[in-house]
């Protein structure tokens, strides 16, 4: 088993070296600190490894270089077109609930159906920076209305763990610890093992984890999708995501028409 892991690592190292056009020996020297990479080399390695912009900036600073990407506030006038695009995307998805979130799952903006679904959430959870994962899993948030709570808990925690593995974000780690405290032992075990998510298939296995919610307009079933800005050159913009919830059945699609009518 150890031999197989070493062979896999050696193959990946060769693949990376070929991609960034250096020898495996030079790459090894960079890894163990015997060689100092140039700014261009850091960016090429980061691009191949799909390292987020914020972490790329951190790598450059640690190596003594200036950061590559800006990190402006969404309120900055220069991002007015981004704000307009986000608003347009959210409104165009109606009557499907959709919301924009930042890297740490804090709410940036929500469309009318999403706000309608949050109408029963206590004010204390909607003050300041509203974290959508906290709102969904908190015992006084949406959790009592989620019909497949154990399954959804496991999926959300698994997704958050992947975010942490990519970014190492300390605030996300704190959030994960908080959300784990809301989860039943059964859900925690399932989250640790991993729940079926998009792409997993086979006899008796779902290909998507649905989000099933009890609401005043009926029991709704959704599948979620994530949209990001593919051409972003700013840290803040690159970390924006549109989370949309599409009807998983005809009954939900019809109920959403009633929901949006009531939210008008």
Structural domain spans, the chain: 2-62, 78-263
| Mean pLDDT, rounded, for 148-165 | 93
CATH architecture of 2-62: Orthogonal Bundle (1.10)
Asked whether the predicted pLDDT for residue 16 surpasses 90, the reply is no
| Mean pLDDT, rounded, for 234-259 | 94
Asked whether the predicted pLDDT for residue 230 surpasses 60, the reply is yes
Asked whether the predicted pLDDT for residue 192 surpasses 50, the reply is no
CATH of 78-263, one of 3.30.450.180, 2.40.30.10, 3.40.50.10490, 3.40.50.150: 3.30.450.180
Residues in the chain: 264
Ramachandran quadrant class, 202 (left: phi over 0; alpha: psi -120 to 50; beta: rest): left
Cβ atoms of 183 and 134 closer than 8 Å: no
Q: What is the pLDDT of residue 9?
A: 59
Residues 99, 110: Cα–Cα separation, whole Å: 4
Asked whether the predicted pLDDT for residue 255 surpasses 50, the reply is yes
Higher pLDDT, 207 or 173: 173
| Mean pLDDT, rounded, for 95-117 | 96
| Mean pLDDT, rounded, for 53-61 | 93
Asked whether the predicted pLDDT for residue 188 surpasses 70, the reply is no
Q: How far apart are the first and last CA of the chain?
A: 60
How far is C-alpha 261 from the chain's CA centre? 30
Asked whether the predicted pLDDT for residue 195 surpasses 70, the reply is no
Q: What is the reported pTM?
A: 0.79
């Amino acid at each position: 088993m150890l031999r197989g892991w070493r062979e896999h690592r050696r193959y990946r190292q060769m693949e990376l070296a070929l991609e960034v056009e250096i020898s495996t020996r030079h790459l090894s020297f960079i890894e163990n600190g015997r060689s100092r990479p140039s700014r261009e080399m850091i960016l090429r390695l980061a691009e191949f490894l799909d390292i987020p912009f914020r972490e790329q900036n951190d790598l450059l600073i640690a190596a003594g270089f200036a950061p590559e990407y800006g990190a402006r506030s969404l309120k900055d006038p220069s991002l007015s077109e981004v704000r307009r695009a986000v608003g347009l995307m959210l409104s165009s998805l109606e009557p499907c609930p959709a919301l924009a979130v930042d890297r740490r799952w804090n709410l940036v903006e929500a469309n009318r159906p999403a706000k309608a679904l949050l109408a029963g959430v206590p004010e204390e959870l909607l003050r300041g920076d509203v974290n959508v994962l906290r709102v969904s899993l908190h015992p006084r948030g949406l959790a009592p209305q989620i019909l497949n709570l154990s399954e959804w808990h496991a999926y959300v925690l698994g997704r958050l763990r992947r975010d942490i593995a990519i970014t190492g974000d300390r605030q996300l780690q704190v959030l994960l610890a908080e959300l784990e405290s809301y989860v039943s032992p059964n859900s925690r075990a399932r989250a640790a093992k991993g729940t079926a998510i998009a792409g997993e298939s086979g006899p008796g296995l779902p290909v998507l984890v649905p989000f099933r919610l009890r609401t005043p307009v009926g029991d709704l079933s959704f599948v979620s999708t994530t949209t990001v800005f593919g051409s972003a050159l700013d840290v803040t913009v690159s970390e924006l995501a549109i989370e949309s919830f599409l009807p998983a059945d005809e009954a939900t699609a019809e109920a959403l028409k009633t929901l949006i009518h009531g939210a008008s």
